[in-house]
Structure 1
Amino acid sequence: MSRLFCNGQPADAAALGAALVNYGHFTSLQVRNGAAQGWALHLQRLQQATHELFDTTLDGAQLCVWLNDALAQCDMRDASVRITVFSRAFDFRQPLHAVPVDVLVGIAAPVAPPATARAVMSLRYQRELAHIKHVGTFPLFHHRRHAMREGFDDVVFVDEAGRVSEGSTWNLAFWDGAQVVWPQAAALRGVAERLLIAGLDRLGQPHTSCEIGVDALSRFGGAVACNATGLWPVARIDAARFEQSDRLLQLLQQALGQTPWQELQT
């Protein structure tokens, strides 16, 4: 991140040191002209995870003030934003103590999704508390590093039952020739995925979710990855190749376009 702010102030060493405790959660988003797609969902994610991890309430209005002020101080209307919720008062020795939460806002240059189709390797792994976008990202990056050493661009996770769940930092949609298919397994249901589902509904495009075994990927013609950065086609997973990923990409881009950009307010 190019600049960091904690509770509305430039982050100092004390704030950053507390963030290293590795107990917290976050959301990442792309801001364009001071707005974001699915901002209400990002805010909802932060509030729900704050309640689950800290048993307290996150002040959404105050967060929006801090976020907009950070963008203004950086003089950026287009940016990559990461909002992390943690607590400088959290003590892992006494984790049940009620503590106030802190908000770390990171502002960096905007980024775009990969421009070319990705080759992905499957790997048996299940994230802890998969439904929370928590700060325990070490395994995600380590497994992606392993996949790249093996000649792939990224990694997709498979659970103990052999079901495809999610990518390292993204969700995955498949095309079976008639409808969009979402893998059904424990995973972080990302904001981009939720926006795409809503967009497909608006378009009247059929979609479903079902358990997808890693050994059954060859039945799909296309695959597309999605996260807050955007959408990109998947060329193959292991030996299974997807010749219709560009077609699925066009459909999902149209679906995402159904979602208006929201101002960063409650």
Structure 2
Amino acid sequence: MRYLELNGEALPDDASRLIPLTYGHFTAMQVRGGAVAGWPLHLARLAASSREMFGAAVPDEQVHALAARALAASGLADASMRIMMVPPAGGLSADAVPPDVVVVVADPVDEAPGPALRVCSQVYERELPHVKHLATMGLTRAHRLAVAAGFDDALFVDRDGLVLEGSIYNVAFWDGEAVVWPQAPMLTGIMMQLVQGALTSLGVPQRTTPIRLADVSSFRAAFFTNSQCARQPIASLDDVVFPGDDRLWSLLASMTFASTRL
């Protein structure tokens, strides 16, 4: 099912076709038992991106109330939720005007990791990489091209081979002792931040450093994080096959995240 609200007003489930989605930003999450992991991080993302793209942000308490209202109206306790900030009814302005808020509630997805994925590198650099914006055509095309080439997904690198991020995920590597995150222009995902905090709590060493394609073969394992899964294994990148490491998978499986009820 799909349930949509615009500024707290219910919309037909196909109304997203009518909403101007060429400019704006969003955050996505899984809701479990009416609660969201990392909710304060989602609010901070929405506020910062709104100030950058619209010059003004919707107050956190209003966003919370709109999300809670839409979830309650959907009748779902477990759900997939997307909160989008789109141009207000009067259109974009040079003045600082808060955006309109679209909340989309849909059926939940399984958060358990699937079989290890085969990914391929593609040269692609997102505009405003630190913002989770609505300009997603390039990401969708990259995924399609990867699948057409026999892979499961794409991992982006810049023109110099610097590892950036995936089509809809952040990537991390394991050198046998520490989790290594790419240092590059990219989106700092909410799940990435939650995983980093959980690993710190578990005492797992981590570092952030520039990683190039030529460096990838030195790692024992790789995984990705996104709003749907915190620990999806990656089997290979291009022709580099990762041996894997049971210790890493055990550590990732033991992670826990604090949640906030909507």
Segments of 5+ residues of structure 1 without an aligned counterpart are none
Task: Please say if residues 121 and 237 of structure 1, whose CA atoms lie closer than 8 Å, have aligned partners that are also in contact.
Answer: yes
* Secondary structure of the corresponding residue to residue 19 of structure 1: coil
In 2: Cα distance, 1:75 partner to 1:21 partner: 26
Q: Size of the alignment, in residue pairs?
A: 260
Hey, what does 1:43 align to over in structure 2? 43
Q: CA deviation at 1:17?
A: 5.9
Segments of 5+ residues of structure 2 without an aligned counterpart are none
For the aligned residue pairs, the C-alpha RMSD in angstroms reads 1.9
Q: CA deviation at 1:117?
A: 0.7
In 2: Cα distance, 1:216 partner to 1:207 partner: 17
Structure 1 stretch 113-122 or stretch 153-162: which is displaced more? 113-122
Q: CA deviation at 1:91?
A: 3.9
Aligned counterparts, 1:50-129, within 5 A: 50-89=50-89, 91=91, 95-113=93-111, 114-129=113-128
Task: Please say if residues 224 and 245 of structure 1, whose CA atoms lie closer than 8 Å, have aligned partners that are also in contact.
Answer: no
Task: Please say if residues 89 and 100 of structure 1, whose CA atoms lie closer than 8 Å, have aligned partners that are also in contact.
Answer: no
Task: Please say if residues 38 and 262 of structure 1, whose CA atoms lie closer than 8 Å, have aligned partners that are also in contact.
Answer: yes
In 2: Cα distance, 1:126 partner to 1:39 partner: 28
Structure 1 stretch 211-220 or stretch 17-26: which is displaced more? 17-26
TM-score by structure 1 length? 0.92
**1:204-223 CA distances to partner (integer Å, 9 max, x unpaired)?**
11110111111221100000
Q: CA deviation at 1:260?
A: 1.5
Aligned counterparts, 1:103-252, within 5 A: 103-113=101-111, 114-230=113-229, 231-244=231-244, 247-252=247-252
* Secondary structure of the corresponding residue to residue 51 of structure 1: helix
Task: Please say if residues 184 and 210 of structure 1, whose CA atoms lie closer than 8 Å, have aligned partners that are also in contact.
Answer: yes
In 2: Cα distance, 1:133 partner to 1:210 partner: 22
Task: Please say if residues 6 and 15 of structure 1, whose CA atoms lie closer than 8 Å, have aligned partners that are also in contact.
Answer: no
Q: CA deviation at 1:16?
A: 4.2
Hey, what does 1:11 align to over in structure 2? 11
In 1: Cα distance, 2:203 partner to 2:21 partner: 46
**Alpha-carbon spacing, 1:63–1:177, altered in 2? closer, same or farther (3 Å):** same
In 1: Cα distance, 2:120 partner to 2:249 partner: 20
Q: CA deviation at 1:125?
A: 0.7
* Secondary structure of the corresponding residue to residue 173 of structure 1: strand
Identity of aligned residues (%): 40
AA matched with 1:136: A
